[in-house]
Amino acid sequence: MKLLEEKILSDGIVLPGGVLKVDNFLNHQIDPVIVTEMGKEFYRLFGDKKVDKIVTVESSGIAIAFAAAQYFGVPVVFAKKGFHKNVGTDVYFAQYFSFTKGDSTEISISKRLLSEGEHILIIDDFLANGAAADALIQILQAAGAVLTGIGIAIEKGFQPGGASLRQRGVPVRSLAIIDTMTDASITFRDDVQ
Q: What is the smallest separation between the CB atom of 101 and its own copies, expressed in angstroms?
A: 6
Q: What is the smallest separation between the CB atom of 39 and its own copies, expressed in angstroms?
A: 10
Q: What is the smallest separation between the CB atom of 24 and its own copies, expressed in angstroms?
A: 7
User: By C-beta, is 92 or 172 nearer to its own copies?
Assistant: 92
What lies within 8 Å, CB to CB, of 111 at 6+ separation is 90, 91, 92, 143
**Contact set with its own copies (CB under 8 A):** 15, 19, 21, 23-25, 28-33, 35-36, 58-59, 62-63, 66-67, 69-70, 73-78, 80, 84-87, 100-102, 109-110, 112-113
Q: What is the smallest separation between the CB atom of 69 and its own copies, expressed in angstroms?
A: 4
Are 92 and 111 spatial neighbours (Cβ–Cβ below 8 Å)? Answer: yes
User: By C-beta, is 74 or 192 nearer to its own copies?
Assistant: 74
User: Which one-letter DSSP state was computed for residue 26?
Assistant: T
Are 82 and 109 spatial neighbours (Cβ–Cβ below 8 Å)? Answer: no
CA dihedral 175, 143, 170, 127 (to 10 degrees): 40
User: By C-beta, is 73 or 117 nearer to its own copies?
Assistant: 73
Instruction: Give the containing element (helix H, strand E) for 146.
Output: strand 146-156
Cα-to-chain-centroid distance, residue 23: 15
Are 121 and 55 spatial neighbours (Cβ–Cβ below 8 Å)? Answer: yes
User: By C-beta, is 70 or 141 nearer to its own copies?
Assistant: 70
Q: What is the smallest separation between the CB atom of 169 and its own copies, expressed in angstroms?
A: 28
User: By C-beta, is 50 or 166 nearer to its own copies?
Assistant: 50
Task: Identify the CA nearest to 127 among candidates 94, 103, 149, 107.
Answer: 149
